[in-house]
Copies of this chain bind each other. A is one copy, B any other.
Amino acid sequence: MTGVVDFEPSAPSLYTFGGAEPVAVVKPGQILRTSTEDCFGGAVRTVDDLPSRVCQRFNPVTGPFYVEGAEPGDTLALHFAAITPARDWGMSATFPHFGALTSTHATATLQPPLEELVWQYDINLQVGTVRYAARRSDFAVELPLDPMLGTVGVAPAGGEVRASIVPDAHGGNLDTPELRAGTTLYLGVNVAGALFALGDGHARQGQGEVCGVGVECAMRVTVAVDLVKGVATPWPRIETDHQLISIGAARPLEDAFRISQRDLITWVVELTGLDVLDAYQLVSQAGRAAPGNVCDPLYTMHAAIDTNVLRGATAYGDSHRRLRGLAETLW
């Protein structure tokens, strides 16, 4: 099939956005099929594999991919046709100095850190569940499988190279459960070819990713790629069949909230022609908001609005619907 690019990565080696040569070229209108390792690089396989002992680096990504024709000022549209666990297990952990409820590199204290502990989840693709099992009692419960990618981004602006664990205007480690199959992610292009990369699959995660990680899992990923020429996108945006989502990344968390709300309001103004204060009012009453992560170097929050509230407005030249149609040709 000429419209499909298959790329199978070897051992994890990319840990940044920017600063690396492309591993493959994708044309707008093509579909990329690839896979991603988990945030531990696959090194945590039992509850006895403490990340601090078995991992040298965290959060490998697959890529970067060069998108033909992409130039600064364009928008890259990535439609996730499928995000499927590549294993029947996922891993999670607490960390001594990472996560929202322990002191960290930045929120530095003099206390003893939190204990490092690992959990293993069984994933049942047929039933659509992940099984939580307590470490220190026999409590266990099935949770809904809800696969997503924690990390998708492009090369940053200004010649910067950012660790893959960082979310920012270039995307990166957004760690939001909204980035599941069926959605389209819009990212502003900063360099020729966009140079996007992706990884950090979670079989599921809670909102806020409070312990610092989700149910980490290697993934098989199918992405339909589009390019919206001459249209800039200041912050990562997601379109689903029913809503528009803006994502802000910042500290403190209220700044991530402010960014996401302001971006959504600006977007609504563009799509509806509403006055900015009218759009502010509409989003204030009709909007939804939630944290993605409150643990990474920058925190993320999203602002969302149902598209039916916007009375039929269409974003990015209906790229989401077009890509969804393109992806359906695969099945």
**Chain A interface (Cβ within 8 Å of chain B)?**
15-16, 18-19, 57, 92, 94, 100-103, 106-115, 117, 119, 121, 130, 132, 134-137, 139, 141, 143, 158-163, 204-215, 248, 250-255, 257-259, 261-263, 265, 272-278, 280-291, 294, 299, 301, 303, 309, 311
Contact B278 A309 (CB under 8 A): no
Q: Are A16 and B110 in contact (CB under 8 A)?
A: no
Contact A289 B287 (CB under 8 A): no
Distance of A189 from chain B, by nearest CB (Å) = 18
Chain B's nearest CB lies how many Å from the CB of A154? 15
**Within the oligomer, what is the number of copies of this chain?**
4
Chain B residues in 8 Å Cβ range of A212: 284
User: Is the beta-carbon distance between A255 and B206 smaller than 8 angstroms?
Assistant: no
Which residue of the partner chain B has the closest CB to A140?
A: B311
**CA distance in complex: A59, B257 (Å):** 24
Docked-complex contact B250 and A253, CB < 8 angstroms: no
Q: Are B287 and A158 in contact (CB under 8 A)?
A: no
CB distance from A288 to the nearest CB of B (A): 5
Give the most central of A258, A263, A280, A309: most B CB within 10 Å.
Answer: A258
Residue pair B158, A160 in contact (C-beta under 8 Å): no
